[in-house]
Amino acid sequence: MHNSTIEKIKKYQNILHFLIEREEKMKNFSTWMLVMFMILFWILRIIVAVSAELNWDLGALKPLNQQVEIILLFVVLVCVILVVKRKMLGGLIYLLAYGMYFGVDIVNNLQTLISAVESNIDINLYMNLLLSLIGMILPISVLLDLLMDKNRKNHPKDKKTDWFYDNEQFDRKMDERADKNNYRTL
């Protein structure tokens, strides 16, 4: 193999390690709140899917595509678990899935709003646009939270222990004291 091919393979291995293998714990309040919003929005989408299947009328809450909605519910469940485990892959899949599902609806609704006359717009259009915007803002904020947390994990700063490990005078003093010990071995 050529060196460039080996370098590419190593690069992809590092990317996969970054996306999959590192497991962190959720420490921030913002992270916990985002996960709670993810779960609440997931429950809302379950209610919307079940209501459409059972022909319940929830007003303006209707799924964009019933079959895709059900598949998306299972994908989002896996993504929530990955986000709780602080896996970057979970945030990326979450953004990709919701981006493909809600992004198209946002574009279509905005085009309808721009081209429509005020009298032809109903509440369903506004409600679908609002839920689609929430469906896009939530994964973007989750991915940004994961990216900011990964940056902090790569460059940790702990005030409780940095004074000890970053203090070179203390290290020199300990080294000088250690050199004066003369132990006899038998």
Is the pLDDT at 98 greater than 60, yes or no? yes
Question: Which residues does 94 contact at the CB level (< 8 Å), separation at least 6?
Answer: 38, 76, 79, 80, 83, 139, 142, 143
Hey, what's the torsion of the CAs at 51, 52, 56, 62, to 10 degrees?
90
Per cent of the chain over pLDDT 70 is 68
Helix (H, G, I), strand (E, B) or coil at 2: coil
**Would you state the pLDDT for residue 181?**
57
Residue 158 pLDDT level (bands cut at 50, 70, 90): low
Q: Are 94 and 41 spatial neighbours (Cβ–Cβ below 8 Å)?
A: no
Q: Which residues of 111-135 are buried (b: 16+ CB within 10 A; e: fewer)?
A: eeeeeeeeeeeeeebebbbebbeeb
As a whole number, mean pLDDT of residues 97-123 equals 84
Domain segments of the chain as ranges:
3-156
**Would you state the pLDDT for residue 31?**
84
- Which bin fits 144, alpha (ψ -120 to 50), beta or left (φ > 0)? alpha
User: How many angstroms separate the CA atoms of 133 and 156, rounded?
Assistant: 34
Q: Are 94 and 76 spatial neighbours (Cβ–Cβ below 8 Å)?
A: yes
**Would you state the pLDDT for residue 115?**
81
10 Å Cβ neighbour count for 48? 20
pLDDT in tens, 14-69: 665 555 555 556 667 888 899 999 999 999 999 998 988 888 877 778 888 889 99
Is the pLDDT at 97 greater than 90, yes or no? yes
User: How many angstroms separate the CA atoms of 142 and 151, rounded?
Assistant: 14
**Would you state the pLDDT for residue 84?**
87
**Would you state the pLDDT for residue 30?**
82
